[in-house]
Chains A and B, each alone.
Chain A
Amino acid sequence: MLEIKNLHVSVEGQNILRGVNLTVSPGEVHAIMGPNGSGKSTLAQVMAGKDEYEVTEGQIFYKGEDLAEAAPEERAREGLFLAFQYPVEIPGVSNVYFLKAALNAIRKHRGQEEMDAMDFLTYVRDKMKIVKMDETLLNRPVNEGFSGGEKKRNEIFHMAVLDPTLAVLDETDSGLDIDALKIVADGVNSLRSEKRAFVVITHYQRLLNYIVPDFVHVLVDGKIVRSGGKELAHELEEKGYAWLEEGRAAGASAATV
């Protein structure tokens, strides 16, 4: 479903990603962990098509297609979803009507009929239960005045409504109390299916107790330095990133000797 090959990305002349490889198949959950500034969000945003980031080398294939020329909305309509690390406040645009416009844009692309207001409301109410969203957040402007936790939950709610094939969650767990974390994790788990895949970016191993990944990758300094099963997360928890960073530095110096 997703194949990232030797991806190099730079922003404002600075190399952020330096050869990322990642393969995700339907039904899988991949966790990407890594220290601050290692490039996790950059990877997520590049997948979603942010054009500020320049792909200098490598490719991203999604459903077998090279995404290089695809606009963000085209990716979204093809079922790629990114839950933002920092969801954006959009005053003046109602959360629910905006979602309706977004869903209808996606449905249109898929050759499905647009949903009318009544059907949409029934559909949305159902999805709200998944993240135990308060009805008042539906009618408020997108993310405006939402608490940190509400914003994250709203991202999962958007995901549930838009029904993606591949969902990338960028630190959707960060800053959440344990109740909110469980709600987010339950939301994701309830959407897990053999047709859908997840890339879950996180800082903290804690989330992975609730969303159990099939694979864990560690991104350090723009490169995946280690991949493994869910036990890798526990190992990281114990030893910290320094363990891998040191190993890499040692490896690098060894190579230059």
Chain B
Amino acid sequence: MSAAIAASATESPARATVQDVYRLGFEGVVRRREGREPRSLTALRAQAFERFSHIGFPGKRDEEWRFTDISPIARSGFRLGAETPSVSAEAIEKYRYSGTHELVFINGRFSAEHSQIEALPEGVVVGSLADALANTPERLEGHLARHAKFEIHPFVALNTALFEDGALIRVPKGVIVDRPINIIHVGRPEGEAFACFPRHMLIAEESSQVTVVEQYGSVGEGAYLTCPVIEVSTEDNAVIDHYKLQRESTDAFHVSTFQLHQLRDSNFSSHSISWGGGLVRNDVNAILAGEGCESTLNGLYMVEGSQLVDNHMRVEHKAAHCDSHELFKGILEGRARAVFNGRIYVHKGAQKTDAKQTNRNLLLSPTALCNSHPQLEIFADDVKCTHGSTVGQLDETAVFYLRSRGIGEEAAKSLLTYAFAADIVGRIKVPEVRRDLEEFLFRRLPRGEVVRQAV
């Protein structure tokens, strides 16, 4: 508690002062974690923090951040390291799914009270990363920060320096975890805006299989920053099915990095659903390092008002015979903005790569805006790479067709909007996640009750 650092933008408008807030936050984390994590990690934190101090927050001139102005984040002197507020069981309820293992985090810290881990197959680790770092650090050696590089990405640097906890999931060789693991992270703003840096690790060893749901929600209103980093290792022949639900309040900032590393014959699939948050940036970096990998990275975003959602994908084909498929769909209303940046990088030896990327956007208002950029860099000669990006409105003929059958205009538009999203919804294999998304759409779409009946 003594380590709680506070500074507000009004007291400290200067940039240097904001940097000081982070430095004090960093020192606080190191103090709090002292003796409870390996020295090597403390050293790594220091390096990462130095790196962040050096590069600072990205500006609009930074190519990777051209369309996403994060100055509201850079300006804020978020409170760091404050004590974790309490959250009622009812507030968590809506994120729970029956038949899952649940790991609950509040403001970046594990909540043993709310978490529920059922019996697991032998050797499977599902728990708090901080606990593992304190109790069995040797088992994590070489894994932490192995793939998520902080040298170039300031938010990864911040996370590495400042994280306190996160989920650790490790599935040993050949083990199949039947029940999905539901990581619930809630932000609970109280008074001043705060920032938290959850750090999740997921390791699926050879021929293992696991389903992971990663949720971000808010309890109550108020600004805060969630800056998660998740590192995923999909080892030889392993299968991971991953879902992310970004459903925070529109007061929240969310800047995440998803770092995926795939080895030979592994199969990774992810669906990233984003409807919450005021300013959301998701960096997804996938490295297909072994031959015969398959990677599916799909997503759906639905934003309104002045929300901004930015999905930055980078898929690197490093080995031959790998397939990657990306399908991102977006529905934009009001003055909402979406950015999609899809880079596919095919290394020289990655022959027989099959990479497909599609981004489709539906603009429901004339003031909504979308920037979609495919970027293909191909250094192998025997590959198949396709990309497509569209931005459009609802098809008037289809609206008329539905209305001519007696469906009202609003309902017809909602139905078509739902239909636009339906293929992503349909691909979600965990029924409760799918239902959650459907319910959201029925709630959000005007005359949702008609849509509910008609699909």
A interface residues (Cβ-Cβ under 8 A, vs B): 45, 48-50, 52, 71-73, 75-77, 81-82, 84, 87-88, 90-94, 97-106, 109, 141, 158, 162
Contacts and interface: CB of A to CB of B under 8 A. Distances in A.
B418 A92 contact: yes
- Of B396, B401, B406, B450, which is in contact with the most chain A CB atoms at under 10 Å from its CB? B406
B interface secondary structure, majority: helix
A49 B404 contact: yes
Contacts of B454: 93-94, 97-98, 100-102
A88 B401 contact: yes
Given A94-B454, A100-B453, A105-B450, A72 B400 contact: yes
A105 B415 CA distance: 14
Interface string B174-216: 0000000000000000000000000000000000000000000
Interface of B: 395-398, 400-409, 411-412, 415-416, 418-423, 426, 450, 453-455
A90 B405 contact: no
A224 B429 CA distance: 57
B359 to A, nearest CB: 17
A105 B404 contact: no
A interface secondary structure, majority: helix
Nearest to B454: A101
Contact of A72 (B404, B421, B450): B404
Contacts of B404: 48-49, 72-73, 75-76, 81-82, 84
Nearest to A99: B405
A84 B401 CA distance: 8
12 contacts: A48-B404, A71-B409, A88-B395, A90-B415, A98-B455, A100-B454, A101-B450, A102-B406, A104-B453, A105-B406, A105-B407, A105-B408
A20 to B, nearest CB: 20
- Of A77, A92, A103, A106, which is in contact with the most chain B CB atoms at under 10 Å from its CB? A92
Contacts of A81: 404-405
Contacts of A71: 403, 409
Given A91-B423, A92-B455, 5 more contacts: A90-B416, A91-B422, A93-B454, A101-B453, A102-B402
Nearest to B408: A73
A124 to B, nearest CB: 14
B419 A90 contact: yes
Contacts of A45: 400
Contacts of B419: 90-93, 141
A86 B419 CA distance: 19
